[in-house]
Amino acid sequence: MAASLPFDQRDGDIWLNGEFVPWSAAQLHVLSHALHYASSVFEGERAYGGEIFKLTEHTERLFRSAEFLDMEIPYTVAEIDDACKALLARQGLQDAYVRPVAWRGSEMMGVSAQTTKINVAIAIWEWPSYFDAEERLKGIRLDMAKWRRPDPATIPCEAKAAGLYMICTLSKHAAERKGYADALMLDYRGQVAEATGANVFFIKDGELHTPTPDCFLNGITRQTVMELARTRQIKINERVIMPEEMADFEECFIVGTAAEVTPVSEIGPYSFTVGDITTTLMNDYTSAVQPKVAAAE
């Protein structure tokens, strides 16, 4: 399948409101509330070797996100888990990207939307590394974003909600126009926050340093990498990080379902090496996401 093929022209099926429908038939009306008012939540998941990594954790977060947006998903967590597994098998894929999404429909048009139907869909497709493979191994380059993660008093920052990614798209577009792979965003206080779709870690003197996720998502991959670091007895400092501190960090990497564990060589004027701890955690993550093969009896 060509990477440039539009997403509405791909093959296979999509799970839509409890049924498998042909990919091209999974459509919504232009007056759907989600299109106009961003009343939509979603998840990004990866399947490795035919198994979706931390599927239930992702599904549970989908439901929490919906609650933050005053949406009640008309299925159970178990039903969505089962639908994801069934669709993965139906698509015939082993390594793939999984995208569940829930949104308000077209029954009402206006800010108020109490009687809109909550629709749910799941799509699964092949998706290679989020960044260029060669660039990823030597460390990607990040721009410093113009836009900042907002005050949590102004947004439902614990939700993985569509509207919260608008400034991420703007920041990534601006970075790519300058030749960068991505951008690092500060928060409303001027503190280091995250990349446009991934959490960030720094390394100094053998210890990890990562921003406290008090106005952005505490990513599932972020939590996984922290577990792996603790297993290695690597100390983790979850704290406020100011931009100027980046001058003293030795290594840097970003993490996310799409990004996995990706080394960073540059953020604006700051440079980093792809060192031993980054490489170790990158390899540990690769091992963690691969399905464990049962030992022969």
- pLDDT at 138 exceeding the cut of 80: yes
Task: List pLDDT tens digits, range 64-93.
Answer: 999 999 999 999 999 999 999 999 999 999
pLDDT score recorded for residue 145: 98
- 107 forms beta bridges with none
pLDDT score recorded for residue 133: 62
- pLDDT at 129 exceeding the cut of 90: no
**pLDDT band at 146, cuts 50/70/90?**
very high
Q: Mean pLDDT, to the nearest integer, of 98-123?
A: 96
pLDDT score recorded for residue 16: 98
C-alpha–C-alpha distance, residues 269 and 247, integer Å: 8
Active site residue 204: no
Q: At what angle do helices 220-231 and 276-289 cross, to 10 degrees?
A: 110
pLDDT score recorded for residue 295: 37
C-alpha–C-alpha distance, residues 183 and 196, integer Å: 6
- pLDDT at 31 exceeding the cut of 80: yes
C-alpha–C-alpha distance, residues 244 and 151, integer Å: 21
- pLDDT at 293 exceeding the cut of 80: no
CB 148 within 8 A of CB 187: yes
Task: Enter the tokens of residue 164.
Answer: 């919260």
| Helix (H) or strand (E) run with residue 247 in it | none
Task: List pLDDT tens digits, range 180-222.
Answer: 999 999 999 999 999 999 999 999 999 999 999 999 999 999 9
pLDDT score recorded for residue 297: 37
pLDDT score recorded for residue 1: 39
Task: Enter the tokens of residue 14.
Answer: 């999509």
Task: List pLDDT tens digits, range 43-65.
Answer: 999 999 999 999 999 999 999 99
pLDDT score recorded for residue 181: 96
- pLDDT at 2 exceeding the cut of 70: no
pLDDT score recorded for residue 291: 82
**Largest alpha-carbon pair distance within the chain?**
61
C-alpha–C-alpha distance, residues 81 and 57, integer Å: 10
**pLDDT band at 132, cuts 50/70/90?**
low
Q: At what angle do helices 220-231 and 55-68 cross, to 10 degrees?
A: 140
Count of CB atoms within 10 A of residue 72's CB? 10
C-alpha–C-alpha distance, residues 93 and 189, integer Å: 43
pLDDT score recorded for residue 3: 54
Instruction: Write down all domains in the chain, each with its CATH number in brackets.
Output: 8-125 (3.30.470.10), 133-289 (3.20.10.10)
Q: What is the mean pLDDT of the chain?
A: 94
CB 103 within 8 A of CB 119: yes
**Choosing from 160, 204, 235, 292, which is the catalytic residue?**
160
CB 255 within 8 A of CB 201: yes
